[in-house]
Amino acid sequence: MPSFRNKRHVRHSAAEMFDLVADVERYPEFVPLCESLHVRRRVASGEGVDILVADMSVAYKMFRESFTSRVTLDRPRLSIVVEYLDGPFSRLENRWTFRPQEDGSCDVEFFISYEFRSRTLGLLMGAMFDAAFRRFAQAFEERADAVYGVGKLAER
C-alpha cells in the first residue's frame, strides 16, 4: 500500500501552520492536483476540536477523481486527521502534526497512506499521487511564507 511521510522544519509557528492546513477551502489556490474543495458540514465538537466533511476533486491532465473525507481539526493537540469516507479509494489515511520549537518555529509532520479500489486506477494515478505528495510540504511552506511573511521568525 503506497504511503508517504515527511517531516519539515518551518520558520512559522505551530499555530500558524495548523491554521493554514485547517483552512481547507483555500486548497485549490495552492495544493498540487487540488481542483476543488467543498465543505459539506462543519461541527464544533467543543474544546477546540472541529469536525468537517469535505468533498475534494483532484485532477491531472485527463484524469479527474473526487472523494469525501472527514477532517478532525484538533487545535489543542495541534493535529489534523483526515479519514476517508467515499470515492475511488479502498483506504486513505492522512495525518498532520505540528510541533512547536523554542525559537517560535515548528516541525510539521505529514503522513498519508492510500490504496485505490481499482488496480488499474492505482497504476494510472499512483505515480501522479506520489509526485504530488512529495510537493505537498513545499506547497504549504510556500503558502505560509506568502500568508505570514518570509522573515517572520527573524522578527520574533
Return the CATH architecture of domain 3-150.
2-Layer Sandwich (3.30)
pTM of the model: 0.88
Task: Mention every residue, 6+ apart, whose C-beta is less than 8 A from residue 19.
Answer: none
The answer to whether 45 touches 65, Cβ cutoff 8 Å, is: no
Q: What are the tens digits of pLDDT across the range 87-120? A: 888 888 999 999 999 999 999 999 988 888 877 7
Q: Digits of tens for pLDDT over the chain (156 positions)?
A: 778 888 999 999 999 999 999 999 999 999 988 999 999 999 998 899 999 999 999 887 777 889 999 999 999 999 999 999 998 888 889 999 999 999 999 999 999 888 888 777 666 666 666 677 777 778 998 999 999 987 545 444
